[in-house]
A and B are shown apart, each in its own frame.
Chain A
Amino acid sequence: MSSATSAIEAPAPEPLVFHWHEAEVAAVTAITPTVKSVRLRCAIAGRQRAGQHVDVRLTAADGYRASRSYSVASVPDGSDTIELLVEGLPGGEVSSWFFETAEVGDRLELRGPIGGSFSWDGPDGGPLLLAGGGSGVVPLLAMLRRRAQVVPDLPAALIYSVRSRAEAIALDELEARDRDETNFSLFLRTTREGEGRRVDAALVEAALDRVGAPGKVFLCGSNRFVSPTADLVVAAGVPPAVIRTERFGA
């Protein structure tokens, strides 16, 4: 993080330049009724920090273009692909192409990875508290995958708020991590089945009790999820400076 003062005094950093690269669809797999896993073969595979996103650009035959941002779900894994988890939003100009049209071999463009603020790697240190709403879990999933690679004993907890178990992304993987990994706990809240509970102060306290004082807190989802959850985390005594948020939609 860079305060205004250090921004003035810091030496000029190496300029980051994001070029567009061609990419090819390597695999498309439905993972929930509303979400597909899309593997893209691209030159930037392996460069991403967990939590970063890429910009995807599609071009129509007449030159019309549209681009959108997607969090990367995969971590550098030695393959030449990255994984995006795309939610099929009604009327979504780019997501509907991924959801209804994309096939192996299709070509598109992307650039990145982008986003230094909402990203994490093992050397960043300290316990991790993660909270995701709906498809906001995707960058957090990347962080948990990275944690398992490089610091598997690091205390970590994921609060995951989703409408129903059927709509939960990577639920099998997350429940397996909760069962098999030392020091990782999943706190799942379903808002439209079972007791229909939202994230509250007691849940945040329980997650913090499990991990201890977090080195970093990452919150991602709609603003309806992120804004009250951020307030709960601050109210629980976590310093605001360690909390990072990413929001989409209204």
Chain B
Amino acid sequence: MVTRGFTGRRQPPETGARLPPGQYLTQDFPILQIGPNPTIDLATWEFTLRDGSRPIKSWSWEAMLALPRTRWHGDIHCVTKWSKFDTQWEGVSFDDLLADAGTAAPTDFLLAESYDDYSTNIPVADLVGGKAMIALLYGGEPIHADHGGPARFFVPHLYFWKSAKWLKGLRFTKTDTAGYWELRGYHMYGDPWREQRYIGD
């Protein structure tokens, strides 16, 4: 179905090739979240890896800072249709976190859980092998609370709602278990290149 009089604003080819379907390029860094920024004190900040309800290991802020670092440079894509190019992040890779915990992933899925009671599900296969990190720096600086600091999940090959802000832990689940938005009609996987915005896409 064609809409009369609509021509659209085509991207230059070099931009278009980097934009997943339905996305547009933004220069700013829009902010989307369900509520206010939670109050987080680094003195009591704690990150916990869990297998279901069983804690595997917890890290204080100092302990997290002491882990090996990974840097990532590239493009991020939000389900609300903006994409931002050439962002730089630094943090602790999922692989290094598991290594420090002395464990392999006990299940094939997990929920990333946040200080504001947000959660989102990701398959473990999408996190291992350098594909995800606990991000601690954005553009070389501590991550502003508006963007999920002090620590946010970072899974850049999926829509950015999977990169949970104000991360407080990762919980392995036996099955792929819907998180906050996935319970509200958003896609269980969220691949921007297949435009998986909502269930059924």
Contact = CB atoms under 8 A, between A and B. Distances in A.
A3 B191 CA distance: 24
A227 B30 contact: no
Contacts of B36: 230-231, 233-234, 240, 243, 245
Contact of B1 (A109, A246, A248): A109
B140 interface: no
Given A4-B113, A64-B10, A231-B36, A59 B3 contact: yes
Contact of A250 (B28, B35, B180, B184): B28
Contact of A244 (B8, B35, B177): B35
A117 B185 contact: no
B105 interface: no
A17 B200 contact: yes
Given A2-B183, A230-B35, A97 B3 contact: yes
Interface centre among A2, A69, A249 (most CB of B within 10 A): A2
B113 to A, nearest CB: 4
Nearest to B52: A8
Contact of B81 (A1, A22, A61, A67): A67
A93 interface: yes
Contacts of B4: 101, 106-107
B47 to A, nearest CB: 14
Contacts of B198: 16-18, 111, 114
A86 to B, nearest CB: 14
Which range holds the interface residue count of chain A? 35 or more
A102 B5 CA distance: 8
B22 A67 contact: yes
A58 interface: yes
B8 A116 contact: no
Contacts of A223: 30-31, 146
A86 B134 CA distance: 38
A140 B35 CA distance: 15
B194 interface: no
Interface centre among A18, A102, A115 (most CB of B within 10 A): A18
Nearest to B79: A69
B111 A4 contact: yes
Contacts of A17: 185, 198-200
Contact of A66 (B8, B111, B183): B8
Interface centre among B8, B9, B34, B199 (most CB of A within 10 A): B8
A7 interface: yes
A13 B183 contact: yes
What 9 A-B pairs are tightest by C-beta distance, nearest first? A16-B185, A250-B28, A230-B36, A4-B119, A101-B5, A116-B184, A17-B200, A4-B113, A58-B6
6 contacts: A22-B1, A59-B3, A101-B4, A102-B5, A233-B36, A240-B36
Interface of A: 1-4, 7-8, 10, 12-13, 15-19, 22, 58-61, 64-69, 91, 93, 97, 101-102, 106-109, 111, 114-118, 223, 227, 230-231, 233-234, 240-241, 243-250
